[in-house]
Structure 1
Amino acid sequence: MELLQLKYFLIVARCEHVTEAAGKLHVTQSSLSKTIQRLEDDLGAPLFDRIGRKLRLNEFGRTFLHRTEKALFELEQGKREIADLSNSDHGTLELAVTTASTLPGILREFRKNKPNIQFHVQMVTLDHMSRLLHRGEVDFCLSSPPIQGDDIECQILFADPIVVAVPVGHRYADRSGISLAELKDEWFVGVKNGYGVRDLVDSACHSAGFVPKYVYEGDEPARLTALVEAEIGLAFIPSTAKNPHERITYLQVEEHGLVREIALLSHKNRYISKAALEFRSVVTAYFGAMSKEVYGVLPIETNGE
C-alpha cells in the first residue's frame, strides 16, 4: 500500500466521480482508475460500487475512508509541525469565514507582528465550514453562528446586534428603531440561504408572522449596503458591517433582540503553529476591545466541550 494510493482514494471518495477527482489531482482518468484498482487489489476488497464514471462508496470504502482520513490528517500535522519548527516566521494561515466584516481590521493588526505570514481566506456557508473544520483543513474559522462538535474548539468572541439598513430617503430613515412586524411589506436584499445571518433573520421574521421578500440574494455580504444606498431594498446588517461613508440609516430591531454570536473555531487535533497562536491572540484582543466599547464588559469565553 502506497501513500499516493491513499491520497488518490481520499479525493475520489469525496468526489465520487472519476472525472472530477482526476481534474482535482491533475492526473489522467486512466491513471487514477489504475491506482484505485491497485489499492483495492492490495486490500482484497472493492471500495466503490461503480455506475459508469460515477462511483459510490460501499461498506468497505466507508470503513477504509474513516481510517484513511485519520492517517493522512496525522501525517499532515507532522508536516506542519516540522515546517513551523524550521521557520515559524513564514508560511500560510488557512482561514474560513462566514462573517468577513471584521476581517480587514484583524488581518491589519496581525500583519504588524507577522508581516511574512500569508493568508488564504475562504468565504463559505456553514455546511462547507463544518466540513473544513471536521477534516482539519483550516487553522481557524470565524463563524456566525458557532458550530459545535466533539472535535471542535469553540470560543465565543462577540455578541453582534443585527440592525436594519434603510436608504436616507426612506420613510423610516428618521427613526432609530423599528419592530419586525412593521417590515412585513418591505423588499429586502440579502445573502443566500445557508449563511448564518440570513438563517437567523428568516427565523426571527417567521416568528413575527411573515416571510421576508427578497429582491436580491447573493453571496457577497459587502455588496448589500451599496444595494440599500441605491434603494433596491432594505437589508439586515450586522452592526460590525455598518458603513459610515454611505447614505444609509441603521435602525435597531425592537422586541426580538436580533443578535448573532461570532465565534473562533478550530479542530482540536490540528497542530497550532506559532503564527496561528499569534492570530488567535490578535482575534481575541480585537473582539475584547469591541465588546468593551459596545457593552462595557469583556466577552465570556466558552468552548464546545
Structure 2
Amino acid sequence: MELLQLQYFLAVARLEHMTEAARSLHVTQSSLSKTIQRLEEDLGVPLFDRTGRKLRLNVFGSRFLRRAERALFELEQGKQEISDLSSPEHGTIELAVTTASTLPNILREFRKKWPHIQFHVQMLTTQEMITLLHRGEVDFCLSSPPIQGEDIECQIVFIDPIIVSVPKGHRLANRSSVSLKDLKDEWFVGAKRGYRGRDLVDSACKSAGFVPKYVYEGNETARLRDLVEAGIGIAFTPFSAMNSREHIHYLQIEEHELGIEIALFWHKDRYISRAAMEFRKVVVEYFRSLSSGNQSKD
C-alpha cells in the first residue's frame, strides 16, 4: 500500500466523483482510476459502489476512510513538527473564522512578535470548520457558538455583548442606552437568519412584544456599518465590532443582557507550533483587553 493511494482514495471518497477528484488532484481520470483499483486489489475488497462516474463509499470504504484519514493526519502532523523544529520563525498558521471583524487587530498584535509568520484565513460555517478540524487542515477556529467534540479543545475567550448602533442625528443618538420596546417601530439592517447573533436578538425582541423589520440582511460587518451610517436602518452590533466612526452612535440595551460566546478551538491531537501557541496567547490577551474595556464603560 502506497501513500499516493491513500491520498487519491481520500479525494475520491470526499467528492464521490472520479472526474471531479481527478481535477482536484491535477491527474488524469484513468491514472486515478487505476490507482484506486490497485488499492482495492491490495485490500481484497471493493471500497465503492459505482454508478457510472458517480461513486459512493460502501461499508468497507467507510471503515477504511476513518483509518486512512487518521494515518494521513498523523503524517501531516509529523511534517509540521519537523518544519517547526527546523524553521520556527517561518511558516503559516491556518485559521478558520465565522466572523472576521476582530481579526485585523489580532493579526496586527501577532505580527509585532512574529513578523515572518504567514496566515491563511477562511470564513466558514460551523460544520465546515468541524470537517477541516477532523482532517487536520486548520490550526485554530474562532467561532460563535462554541463547538463541542471528543477530539476538540474549546476555550471561551469572550462573552461579546450586543449593543445597538444608530446613525448620528437619529432620534436615539443623544442617549447612552435604550430598551428593546423603544425599537419596535425601527427598521433594521442585520445578519441573516441562522446566525447566532440574529437568532438571539430576534428572540429577545419577540419577548419584548415585536418582530424586528429588516430592510437588509447580510453577514458583512463593514457593509452593515455603512448602511447604518447612511441612515438605511439601525443594527444590533457585537461590542467587538464597534467602530469609533464619527457618524455612528452606540447604545447599551436596557433590561436584557444579550451576549454571544466567542470561542477558540483546535484539534486535541494536532501539533501546535510555537508560533501557533503564541497566536493563542495573543487571542486570549486581545479579548481580555476587550472585556476590561467593556467593563470600564459600565
Q: Is 2:125 the partner of 1:139? A: no
- Give the AA of the match of 2:25: L
Aligned residues, how many?
296
* Aligned-partner Cα distance in 2 for 1:84–1:36: 33
Offset, 1:208: 4.3
* Aligned-partner Cα distance in 2 for 1:179–1:51: 60
Q: CA RMSD in A?
A: 2.1
* Aligned-partner Cα distance in 2 for 1:77–1:19: 29
SS of match in other structure, 1:154: strand
Offset, 1:243: 1.4
**TM-score normalised over the length of structure 2:** 0.91
Q: Is 2:257 the partner of 1:257? A: yes
Partner of 2:163: 163
Task: Give a deviation string over 1:85-118, Cα, whole Å, max 9, x none.
Answer: 1110010000111132221111111111111100
Q: Is 2:256 the partner of 1:282? A: no
Superposed, which structure 2 residues align to 1:67-78 within 5 Å?
67-78=67-78
- Give the AA of the match of 1:104: P
Partner of 1:7: 7
SS of match in other structure, 2:163: strand
* Aligned-partner Cα distance in 2 for 1:35–1:252: 61
**5+ residue gaps in structure 2?**
none
- Tell me if the contact between 1:141 and 1:266 (Cα under 8 Å) persists in the aligned partners: yes
**TM-score normalised over the length of structure 1:** 0.89
Partner of 2:180: 180
The change in CA–CA distance for 1:175 and 1:90 in structure 2 (over 3 A counts) is same
Offset, 1:152: 1.1
The change in CA–CA distance for 1:10 and 1:246 in structure 2 (over 3 A counts) is farther
The change in CA–CA distance for 1:67 and 1:167 in structure 2 (over 3 A counts) is same
The change in CA–CA distance for 1:262 and 1:49 in structure 2 (over 3 A counts) is same
- Tell me if the contact between 2:12 and 2:18 (Cα under 8 Å) persists in the aligned partners: yes
Offset, 1:278: 1.1
SS of match in other structure, 2:227: helix
* Aligned-partner Cα distance in 1 for 2:91–2:256: 44
The change in CA–CA distance for 1:198 and 1:32 in structure 2 (over 3 A counts) is farther
* Aligned-partner Cα distance in 2 for 1:5–1:110: 39
Partner of 1:192: 192
Which stretch of the first structure deviates more once superposed, 275-284 or 195-204? 195-204
* Aligned-partner Cα distance in 1 for 2:235–2:56: 42
- Tell me if the contact between 1:127 and 1:194 (Cα under 8 Å) persists in the aligned partners: no
Partner of 1:50: 50
SS of match in other structure, 1:171: coil
Which stretch of the first structure deviates more once superposed, 135-144 or 198-207? 198-207
The change in CA–CA distance for 1:220 and 1:75 in structure 2 (over 3 A counts) is same
* Aligned-partner Cα distance in 2 for 1:75–1:16: 24
Superposed, which structure 2 residues align to 1:191-230 within 5 Å?
191-208=191-208, 210-230=210-230
The change in CA–CA distance for 1:92 and 1:245 in structure 2 (over 3 A counts) is same
- Tell me if the contact between 2:166 and 2:249 (Cα under 8 Å) persists in the aligned partners: yes
Which stretch of the first structure deviates more once superposed, 34-43 or 214-223? 214-223
Offset, 1:186: 3.6
- Give the AA of the match of 1:265: F
Task: Give a deviation string over 1:267-286, Cα, whole Å, max 9, x none.
Answer: 11000101111111211222
The change in CA–CA distance for 1:225 and 1:69 in structure 2 (over 3 A counts) is same
* Aligned-partner Cα distance in 2 for 1:49–1:184: 56
**Percent of matched pairs sharing the same residue:** 72
Offset, 1:182: 4.1
SS of match in other structure, 1:23: helix
Which stretch of the first structure deviates more once superposed, 191-200 or 90-99? 191-200
**5+ residue gaps in structure 1?**
297-305
- Tell me if the contact between 1:98 and 1:143 (Cα under 8 Å) persists in the aligned partners: yes
* Aligned-partner Cα distance in 2 for 1:8–1:25: 8
Which stretch of the first structure deviates more once superposed, 82-91 or 150-159? 150-159
The change in CA–CA distance for 1:201 and 1:69 in structure 2 (over 3 A counts) is farther
- Tell me if the contact between 2:240 and 2:290 (Cα under 8 Å) persists in the aligned partners: no
* Aligned-partner Cα distance in 1 for 2:26–2:160: 43
Partner of 1:110: 110
Which stretch of the first structure deviates more once superposed, 225-234 or 87-96? 225-234
- Tell me if the contact between 1:125 and 1:194 (Cα under 8 Å) persists in the aligned partners: no
Q: Is 2:80 the partner of 1:80? A: yes
Partner of 1:64: 64
The change in CA–CA distance for 1:277 and 1:162 in structure 2 (over 3 A counts) is same
Which stretch of the first structure deviates more once superposed, 201-210 or 134-143? 201-210
* Aligned-partner Cα distance in 2 for 1:241–1:36: 49
